[in-house]
């Protein structure tokens, strides 16, 4: 690259960084629109081992996922962004509340996809206005390997729990990207700072890590409660405890969280009714009530039946006989997965002293 282009690019990086921070992003870095061969090989190994389970969309678009330029051939650079969603309280404290459900931190407030995408569009508009390139914005749902790209862009590293960890924000960063046709001087990839720690692997209730840095999604409570459609396999039901939507255990236990500041984003403030909701109330939600309650929330996507299935597993683990009537009333639910979970819950509660 000629010195002149390098100077322009450097100023431009500063301008984008300043704009991103002004818009409310908490982390930003730049990388080329290509992935290191390791990330591609490991994606292939994950898929070949069937560790993606029913998430067929991971396999269907594997080529684009592995090669950002297969997704968009003109892309030259990726601007990786992070949004801090660190909770005000330790999410693990909820797990001992028998009559309550635990919703993972990322789903206790407005859908982050909407919040993040809105901010990305503003940043993209700024880039187009000032430098005129083409841009595309992504968050979560596109076939993009967001964690390796964010590591390449220097935002943090993929920890042994496989998520991106930041020295400043711990495990609590949402990720998203602006792809652009501009060539921007890349940042240096972030080094791994897990060292000899293995707290995330040790705490996992379902032993979902076959090895450090590898996740068998089919054993992960996040997958089982959100992505998996049928009955939850018996072997995981007790371990799920009261986690009714996702799981944060491996994130919450990470020692790097001690540097995290509670998220200041008003749109990411936890809804009170989703912080530790009563299982008895959730079990009895009708389809209409479910949709109304979860409008604007990521939970809406899984639908009433899958959600109530999860609530019934938590009820079966609750050792609280006052929950029997709620479970009993669902044993003849028209949805067979709900009815089966209700029968299981009633049988479990009958065996508690
Ligand atoms: C599929 C998916 C899931 C699946 C599978 C998760 C997984 N780890 O693959 C399930 C449903 C289980 C899931 C759960 C969660 N998810 Co999710 N998920 C995704 C999604 C859509 C794709 C991830 C993917 O490509 N997986 C495929 C695997 C092969 O890729 P990988 O995880 O990067 O695998 C790497 C490692 O295995 C590593 N590796 C393998 N072997 C080795 C060996 C060594 C030595 C090393 C160093 C590395 C290494 O290399 C691979 C390639 O980089 C992304 C969004 C996106 N588009 O990227 C969000 C995303 C990863 N999820 C996210 C979140 C928040 C969660 C949950 C915390 C939600 C919750 N509270 O329930 C949990 C966390 C569970 C966990 N421990 O990972 C965030 C993570 C943010 C962050 N800071 O990293 C993302 C980025 C969404 C977002 N835009 O913010 N998720
Ligand atoms: S999210 Fe929960 S179940 Fe999934 S890997 Fe982490 S600790 Fe294990
Ligand atoms: S808990 Fe320990 S091993 Fe796991 S990601 Fe954090 S530092 Fe790495």
When pLDDT is cut at 50, 70 and 90, the band that residue 5 belongs to is very low
Residue 1 has pLDDT above 90, yes or no: no
Residue to substitute in 158, 161, 253 for testing ligand 3 pocket (most ligand atoms within 8 angstroms of CB) = 161
Q: Pull the structure tokens for residue 122.
A: 């503003």
Q: Which residues contact 274 (CB under 8 A, 6 or more apart)?
A: 103, 107, 108, 109, 297
The CA 162 to ligand 1 mean position distance, Å, reads 6
Residue to substitute in 221, 236, 246 for testing ligand 2 pocket (most ligand atoms within 8 angstroms of CB) = 221
Query: Do 220 and 75 touch, CB atoms closer than 8 A?
Result: no
Category of 195 on φ-ψ map: left (φ > 0), alpha (ψ -120 to 50) or beta:
left
Task: Determine the 3-state secondary structure of 265 from DSSP.
Answer: coil
192 assigned to active site: no
> What pLDDT score was predicted for residue 56?
97
> What pLDDT score was predicted for residue 7?
46
> What pLDDT score was predicted for residue 12?
86
> What pLDDT score was predicted for residue 8?
52
Query: Do 247 and 222 touch, CB atoms closer than 8 A?
Result: yes
Among the bound ligands, the one closest to the CA of 156: 1
Residue 258's φ and ψ, nearest 5 degrees, are: -65, -15
> What pLDDT score was predicted for residue 100?
97
Q: What are the beta bridge partners of residue 153? A: none
User: Quick one: which of 62, 13, 68, 58 has its CA closest to 36?
Assistant: 68
Compute the average pLDDT of residues 34-58: 97
Q: Report, in angstroms and rounded to the nearest whole number, the Rg of the chain calculated over CA atoms.
A: 22
Q: Pull the structure tokens for residue 160.
A: 């042994």
When pLDDT is cut at 50, 70 and 90, the band that residue 9 belongs to is low
Rounded distance, CA 314 to CA 28, Å?
38
Compute the average pLDDT of residues 2-28: 80
Which residue has a Cα nearest atom 15 of ligand 1?
Answer: 222
The CA 204 to ligand 2 mean position distance, Å, reads 5
- Letter string b/e over residues 190-222, b meaning 16 or more CB atoms within 10 A of that residue's CB: beeebeebebbbeebbbebbeeeebbbbbbbbb
Which tens digit of pLDDT belongs to each residue from 181-215? 999 999 999 999 999 999 999 999 999 999 999 99
Q: State the catalytic residue, choosing from 26, 99, 140, 187.
A: 140
Rounded distance, CA 291 to CA 322, Å?
26
Q: What are the beta bridge partners of residue 180? A: 77, 135
Which tens digit of pLDDT belongs to each residue from 293-337? 999 999 999 999 999 999 999 999 998 999 999 999 999 999 999
Rounded distance, CA 105 to CA 100, Å?
15
Helices (H), 102-164: 112-131, 146-152
Residue to substitute in 157, 203, 211, 256 for testing ligand 3 pocket (most ligand atoms within 8 angstroms of CB) = 256
Query: Do 35 and 206 touch, CB atoms closer than 8 A?
Result: no
Percent of the chain with pLDDT over 70: 97
Q: Which residue has the tokens 């009708």?
A: 286
> What pLDDT score was predicted for residue 26?
98
Q: Pull the structure tokens for residue 266.
A: 């008003």
Q: Exposed/middle/buried for 4, CB within 10 Å: 0-12, 13-18, 19+?
A: exposed
Residue 6 has pLDDT above 70, yes or no: no
Among the bound ligands, the one closest to the CA of 226: 1
Compute the average pLDDT of residues 129-157: 96
* CA angle centred on 42, ends 40 and 46, rounded to 5°: 120
Counted residue by residue, the chain has a size of 353
Compute the average pLDDT of residues 9-26: 92
Residue 2 has pLDDT above 90, yes or no: no
Is the Cα dihedral 155, 161, 167, 168 positive or negative?
positive
Among the bound ligands, the one closest to the CA of 53: 1
> What pLDDT score was predicted for residue 4?
38
Among the bound ligands, the one closest to the CA of 162: 1
Q: Which residues contact 168 (CB under 8 A, 6 or more apart)?
A: 26, 27, 259, 260
State whether the beta carbon of 145 lies less than 6 angstroms from ligand 1.
Answer: yes
Which tens digit of pLDDT belongs to each residue from 55-109? 999 999 999 999 999 999 999 999 999 999 999 999 999 999 999 999 999 999 9
The CA 116 to ligand 3 mean position distance, Å, reads 26
- For residue 251, give the ligand 2 atom closest to its CA: 6
The CA 195 to ligand 3 mean position distance, Å, reads 8
Which residue has a Cα nearest atom 1 of ligand 2?
Answer: 247
Which tens digit of pLDDT belongs to each residue from 277-297? 999 999 999 999 999 999 999
Which residue has a Cα nearest atom 5 of ligand 3?
Answer: 159
| Cα–Cα distances in angstroms (integers) from residue 123 to residues 19, 79, 82, 178, 202, in the given order | 7, 10, 13, 8, 39
Average pLDDT, rounded, for the chain: 95
Query: Do 76 and 134 touch, CB atoms closer than 8 A?
Result: no
């Amino acid at each position: 690259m000629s010195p002149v282009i390098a100077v322009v690019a450097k100023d431009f990086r500063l301008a984008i960084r300043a704009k991103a921070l002004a818009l409310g992003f908490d982390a930003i870095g730049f990388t080329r629109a290509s992935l290191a061969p390791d990330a591609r090989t490991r994606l292939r190994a994950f898929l070949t081992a069937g560790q993606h389970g029913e998430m067929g969309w991971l396999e269907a678009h594997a080529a684009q996922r592995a090669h950002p330029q297969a997704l968009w051939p003109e892309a030259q650079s990726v601007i990786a962004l992070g949004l801090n969603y660190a909770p005000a309280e330790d999410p693990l404290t909820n797990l001992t509340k028998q009559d309550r459900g635990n919703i993972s931190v990322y789903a206790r407030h407005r859908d982050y996809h909407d919040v993040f995408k809105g901010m990305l569009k503003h940043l993209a508009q700024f880039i187009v206005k000032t430098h005129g390139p083409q841009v595309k914005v992504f968050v979560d749902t596109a076939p993009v390997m967001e964690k390796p790209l964010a590591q390449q862009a220097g935002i943090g590293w993929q920890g042994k729990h496989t998520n991106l960890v930041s020295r400043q924000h711990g495990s609590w960063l949402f990720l998203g990207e602006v792809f652009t046709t501009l060539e921007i001087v890349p940042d240096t990839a972030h080094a791994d700072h897990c060292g000899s720690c293995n707290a995330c692997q040790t705490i996992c209730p379902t032993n979902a890590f076959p090895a450090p840095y590898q996740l068998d999604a089919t054993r992960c409570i996040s997958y089982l409660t959100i992505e998996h459609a049928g009955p939850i396999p018996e072997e995981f039901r007790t371990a799920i405890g009261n986690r009714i939507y996702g799981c944060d255990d491996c994130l919450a236990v990470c020692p790097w969280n001690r540097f995290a500041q509670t998220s200041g984003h008003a749109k990411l403030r936890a809804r009170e009714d989703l912080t530790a909701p009563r299982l008895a109330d959730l079990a009895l939600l009708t389809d209409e009530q479910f949709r109304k309650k979860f409008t604007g929330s990521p939970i809406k996507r899984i639908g009433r039946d899958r959600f109530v299935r999860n609530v019934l597993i938590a009820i079966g683990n609750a050792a609280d006989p006052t929950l029997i009537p709620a479970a009993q009333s669902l044993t003849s639910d028209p949805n067979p997965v709900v009815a089966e979970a209700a029968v299981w819950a009633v049988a479990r509660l009958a065996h508690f002293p």
